Structure 1
Amino acid sequence: MKLKYNLIAIALLGFSFSSCSDFLEQNPQTDLSENDFYKTADDILSAVNGAYSSLQENDIYGNWYVFGEIPSDNTRNQLSGSVTTQNEFDQFYIDTQNSMIANFWKAAYKVINRTNTVLGRIDGIDINADLANRYKLECKFIRALMYFNLVRVYGDVPLVLKEISISESYDILREPKENVYNQIIADLKEAQGLPVSYPTAEDGRATQGAAKALLADVYMTLHKYAEAETILAEIINSGRYSLLENTPGSLNIDGYKNVFSPVNHNSKEGIFEIQFLKGGYGEGSNYANNFAPENSGTNVVAVGGTGGNNIPEMDIYNAYEEGDLRRDFSMSLGYYDNRKNNEWVESRYVCKYMDVPYQNNDASNNYPVIRYADVILMYA
């Protein structure tokens, strides 16, 4: 099966019961990860996978729509309960107590510290040199991705490039965003040394193409269009990626649908995706439940709750040209309520992530960070 990233699991220690003192005199559990871990190649692999796994968290890509869509004219939030924190993004009155601002900051730096820990400790491990270099480049890609998100949200941010403790973090001040962007570019230039592909069992890891596409996005953000154009042309001319084709013979959008299909992750159009897997493993996505209309019961999503978040505005609905089949696959104006004789309920919602969850907030919908469609659009 395709790679789904798991947090580091530590097995229970076996104890010798030869004496009471042997049983009582244990190493502190807080020392387990620092002193007894990072000893083998498998430990490093688990640590790298832990950095990937952190990207799944609600405060990273689980709620990224709050930062990327809610402030735009594309979507809005539901005004109820704790979701009022999202309204501050929609109305541009974010205050210092907004939990999403604080939580994204903390979660992003947790990911960065995980990558820095691997980078700082891997050279002391007995590990194949090529494999060690690959793990380093994967961590630099993930670190660059986090800093790219941070600098776009906060501007000047602390630039941390080594493993630090909580006490050490208090002495690190914000760095000018220009310096942060320089580090992002440096990390992504190095990360272009990543493999162009992986065996199927490792699908989803950062590749050379992912590093190039993200670097091009960074250059576009900085208005360095000539630099972006060169890299984008390299991706296109490589022939490694392409759009997913529609089924021939009729007007359809099967290719577009397959981009979001839970059985078609990491396709030739998916350059880098956040990996999710349902099944009660703690690896599932929340999009199906989060975006289903509030109080819609099982009419839209069959299992779990309904968040009513990320509601499409009519402006984005009307922006589609007449006859564009992608519109009704991506968003809906409402649903038929089987609790009320299939009465039509007008309630707009994003529907392209509608995998059937295993349980609440536990669906197999990857989040596409970079698609080949993005590369073509940037190049255009």
Structure 2
Amino acid sequence: MKKNPILWLALGGVLLAGCKKDFLDLSPQATSSAANFFQTPSQIEQAVNGAYVPLRDLTNLEYWVYGEMRSDNTSFQYNNTDRGQESQREFVDEFLVSANSESVLSYWQGSYRGISRCNDVLGHVDAVAMTADKKNQYIGEAKFLRAWYYYNLVRQYGGVPLRLESVGSPAEAKSPGRATLDAVYTQIVADLTDAAAKLPTKAAYAAADAGRATKGAATALLASVYLTRKDYPNALTQLRAVRSAGYSLLSSYRSVFDPANKNNAESIFEVQYLGSQPAISSYFTYTFAPYTSGNLVTGDAATRNLNGASGWNIPTPELINAYETGDLRKDASLQLGYKDATGTFVAQPYVSKYNFGIVAPGRTDTDFPVLRYADVLLMQAEVLNEQGYAAGGEAFDLLNQVRRRAGLPDKTAAAVSSQAAFRDAVLQERRVELAFENQRWYDLVRTGRAVSVLNAQGVLEKARKTFLPASAYQVTTNNLLLPIPQYELTLDNLEQNPL
């Protein structure tokens, strides 16, 4: 279904699931038409649950391909026995992706699938009798998710069509064309502002609803949007609000990602997976394992030949060397290799941040972090510095809270003695603290460093991978936006990004 947009349009988001036990339990229970489906609070809740599904799908693939592999943090393990993924992932890493790429299209369509489901909720919820608190919660969840989908779209494609109404027929499906960048961001801010006003706090949810969007999540995402737009006063207001909401750093960095510790005190929003159910399990452990490692990295005896399904999001030597001596985050996040069946060490780095064992063959239970408190601390440190460098001030304290948890000494004004130097220190800290969490690409673009950093990275990649074409890693400002999928250009008469 994920690859068939026609089928999804026909279903209209109504093959949704019940939520008696847990809002992740999304097995279809009935087929209805939109005209008679949105009648009860339970049906609205099912529709809200359905709006989370594309988020889970995109996180399993497209988000890390475009949020991490396009950066200088990760690349790929070249597999000369399986070239089937070349256009989908290798070309992304090499900045050779085209408008006809399957992953460019699936990113776009998956995002709009989520937006469509949010619009269905928002278009019908007011007509259903329920308590004001429940109605506010459902509206808040839908607006948070819609803002998230648009936030990723606008950062990857630029101005995109703003679809804000529930679509009831094919005649209503055509968009008014690409909105301006400002218009898309204005809508994102409006959605998040309303979501933050309406959503419950994290503590107010019942245990079965853990992982739903919260007031804190909407506020933290709004802060990220303001930071991206360089609106530092508003970003600071939102960040201070998050910091007063009861979140805290865990003492152990590794435990933040442990599936036995989901939705912990540091977690503001994470994509929920359930390894006991095939359709809603995660599989990052397999994807990020070296394809040559068989089951030695995954620990899955039933999986012996990973081949083209693995060897992706491989840490670059530059990221590995970015960790300071003694940084506890390094061993928690990556491994420099693995031992083969004979006990011989194979020097092939891989991401281990999400490797906590399997639940069943091919399935893991690991969630994916989207917003966490450490990110908030570093965002606030950045904002304060952009508003004015203060030697040894609050920004230093925020930065050093993150460093202390990693086992590192404080940064001092003697070593970081200017606004520019502190800017570099925060970006470096974000790189290693948030490695493999799909943040690095956006940080490089937001800070205006993407073109220079990635061209320099390309020189290093070409020296290591002599098989790469000469046209690889020729990064210009045009590469900072993905091409609009050719399918959507033709279908919706959209204007292409500069190529």
- TM-score, normalised to structure 1, is 0.87
> For the Cα contact (< 8 Å) 1:282–1:362, is it kept in 2?
no
RMSD: 1.8
Say if 1:118 and 1:139, in contact at 8 Å, map to a contact too.
Answer: yes
Question: What SS class does the counterpart of residue 355 from structure 1 fall into?
Answer: coil
Instruction: Confirm whether residue 189 of structure 1 aligns to residue 193 of structure 2.
Output: yes
Contact 2:275 2:364 in 1 (8 A): yes
Please identify which structure carries the higher helix content: 2
Task: Indicate if the aligned counterparts of 1:60 and 1:107 stay in contact, CA closer than 8 A.
Answer: no
Distance 1:372 1:174, change over 3 A: same
What does 1:331-350 align with in structure 2 at a 5 Å threshold? 331-338=334-341, 341-350=342-351
Instruction: Quote how far apart the aligned CAs of 1:297 are.
Output: 1.1
2:254 aligned partner: 257
Q: Give the corresponding residue for 1:55.
A: 55
Question: Given the alignment of the two structures, is residue 33 of structure 1 paired with residue 30 of structure 2, yes or no?
Answer: no
Report the Cα offset of residue 65 of structure 1: 1.0
Question: Which residue type is aligned with residue 200 of structure 2?
Answer: P
The 2-side partners of 1:189 and 1:294 are apart by 44
Q: Residue 126 of structure 1 is aligned with which of 126, 129, 133?
A: 129
User: Given the alignment, which residue of 305, 312, 315 partners 1:312?
Assistant: 315
Deviations 1:272-315 (A, max 9, x none): 00000101341101201110110211110022463111000010
SS in 2 for 1:369: strand
After superposition, where does 1:228-307 map in structure 2 within 5 Å?
228-238=235-245, 240-245=246-251, 255-303=252-300, 304=303, 306=306, 307=310
1:53 partner amino acid: V
Q: Show CA shifts across 1:295-338 (max 9, x none).
A: 21111002246311100001000000011121022111110012
- Preserved CA contact (<8 Å) 2:23 2:208: no
CA distance in 2 between counterparts of 1:266 and 1:2 reads 17
- Structure 2 counterpart of 1:343, one-letter code: T
* TM-superposed deviation, 1:2: 8.7
| Alignment counterpart, residue 138 of structure 2, candidates 116, 132, 135 | 135
Do the aligned partners of residues 105 and 60 (structure 1) sit closer, same or farther apart at CA in structure 2, a change above 3 Å counting? farther
Alpha-carbon distance in 1 for matches of 2:361, 2:92 = 26
* Within-5 A mapping of 1:132-171: 132-164=135-167, 165-171=169-175
Confirm or deny: 8 A CA contact 1:191 1:211 kept in the other structure.
yes
The amino acid across from 1:5 in the alignment is L
Query: What is the one-letter code of the residue matched to 2:272?
Result: Q
Residue 85 (structure 2) aligns with: 83
Give the match for residue 45 of structure 1. Answer: 45
Paired residue for 2:179?
A: 175
Give the distance between the partners of 1:348 and 1:167, measured in 2 at CA: 51
- The Cα shift of 1:91 comes to 1.6
* Matched positions, count: 348
- Partners of 1:39 and 1:311 lie apart in 2 by 48
Q: 1:222 aligns with which of 219, 229, 232?
A: 229
Residue among 94, 99, 106 paired with 2:97: 94
Structure 1 CA distance, aligned partners of 2:229 and 2:373?
A: 21
Structure 2 counterpart SS, 1:161: coil
Structure 1 residues 259, 3: closer, same or farther in 2, change over 3 A?
Answer: farther
1:201 aligns with 2:208: yes
State the secondary structure of the residue aligned to 2:247: coil
Structure 1 unaligned regions, length at least 5: 12-28, 246-254
**Residue 192 of structure 1: SS of its match in structure 2?**
helix
Structure 2 counterpart of 1:9, one-letter code: P
